[in-house]
Amino acid sequence: MNEKHKHLGSRGSCFYILGFFGAAYYFISTSVGFWMGVGGFFKAIVWPVFFVYESFKYLGL
């Protein structure tokens, strides 16, 4: 593996971690009970799925 492609994964990881914290904060802060907060935590883990789905729907793909 050459030096140019060695660190490409770290940018995506940073974006995912920041997105995870933001989504977890949003989903947990808007929950009305404990189990809704637990569900919000799991939603925060898979937030890229929602993002890509809504993006494709918006773009008409």
Q: Please indicate, yes or no, if residue 3 is contained in any of the structural domains.
A: no
Confidence (pTM): 0.63
H-helix segments, 1-61: 8-29, 34-45, 47-59
Q: Please indicate, yes or no, if residue 32 is contained in any of the structural domains.
A: yes
Q: Cα–Cα distance between 40 and 34 in angstroms, integer?
A: 10
> How many domains does one find in the chain?
1
Q: Please indicate, yes or no, if residue 24 is contained in any of the structural domains.
A: yes
Q: Cα–Cα distance between 26 and 60 in angstroms, integer?
A: 27
Average pLDDT, the chain: 81
Residue 61 near residue 29, CB atoms below 8 Å: no
Identify the residue whose tokens are 């937030």: 47
Q: Please indicate, yes or no, if residue 38 is contained in any of the structural domains.
A: yes
Q: Please indicate, yes or no, if residue 4 is contained in any of the structural domains.
A: no
Interval 47-59: pLDDT, tens: 888 888 888 899 8
Q: Please indicate, yes or no, if residue 27 is contained in any of the structural domains.
A: yes
| Domain residue limits at 47 | 9-59
Q: Please indicate, yes or no, if residue 2 is contained in any of the structural domains.
A: no
Residue 44 near residue 20, CB atoms below 8 Å: yes
Q: Is pLDDT of 61 > 90?
A: no
